[in-house]
Amino acid sequence: MFFMMKTASKHITREKLLDQGVALFTEHGYHGTGLQDILASVGVPKGSFYNYFASKEEFGAAAIGHYIEPFITLLDQWLKRPELSAAAALEGYFGELTAALERRQFVGGCLLGNLIGEIGDTSASCRLALSSALHRYRDKLREGIERGQQEGQFRKDKDAEEMADFLSDAWQGALLRMKIEQSTAPLTACCKNLLAGYFKA
């Protein structure tokens, strides 16, 4: 029983570290966030960090996977709503993300896009984690696009995976424009031009 409680406690602390890592990396960047900042916010002694992660780089890679998981889960929930077509589900999903970014006053954007620009070509383990996260996200988008094609809403002369890559890449670019323009207009235009435009059957 004690071992199980200790294991559960360790898991909770690890999750808290990752939560704080995601928040601080999003706000200050990878290089602008020190381990001490993360540990202090969770109340974990510095020496204890290495019970969870071998290095900041390993922690960064884990934080990337931790970050993308809720987005994949949310997208899956939208796609599983029986009353919605695939096109409506994708529009609803991106609409929810857009509304959340507006409530946060455009701060942060997407951690994946931020870290790709900051450490995508300098950290091998983080680069692999970023690639894995993007591909997992792309694959979930592809599921929705394939269903949209089957339902006759999306064009079939383009490969669903290619379209999912295009949507993901365009969304990342729109997020960057959102930050400098302080407006969700680029996000709205991205979804409208692709989901209700270029992708439309």
Share of the chain above pLDDT 70, in %: 95
Measuring CA to CA, which residue among 118, 25, 103 is closest to residue 64?
25
Reported as a single tens digit per residue, the pLDDT across 123-139 is 999 999 999 999 999 99
C-beta atoms surrounding 105 within 10 Å: 8
Domains and CATH numbers, the chain: 57-198 (1.10.357.10)
Measuring CA to CA, which residue among 175, 173, 147, 164 is closest to residue 198?
164
Q: Collapsing DSSP states into helix, strand and coil, what is residue 25?
A: helix
Alpha helices in 29-123 (DSSP H): 35-42, 56-79, 86-103, 111-119
pLDDT for 41 equals 87
| Chain mean pLDDT for the chain | 92
pLDDT for 149 equals 98
Mean pLDDT of 83-104: 96
Whether the full predicted model's pTM is greater than 0.85, yes or no, is yes
Reported as a single tens digit per residue, the pLDDT across 149-180 is 999 999 999 999 999 999 999 999 999 999 99
Question: Above 50 in pLDDT, residue 3?
Answer: no
- Contact between residue 201 and residue 160 where contact means Cβ atoms under 8 Å apart: no
**Number of helices followed by number of strands (H, E) in the chain:** 8, 0
Question: Above 90 in pLDDT, residue 86?
Answer: yes
> DSSP character for 157?
S
Reported as a single tens digit per residue, the pLDDT across 43-82 is 888 888 888 999 999 999 999 999 999 999 999 999 999 9
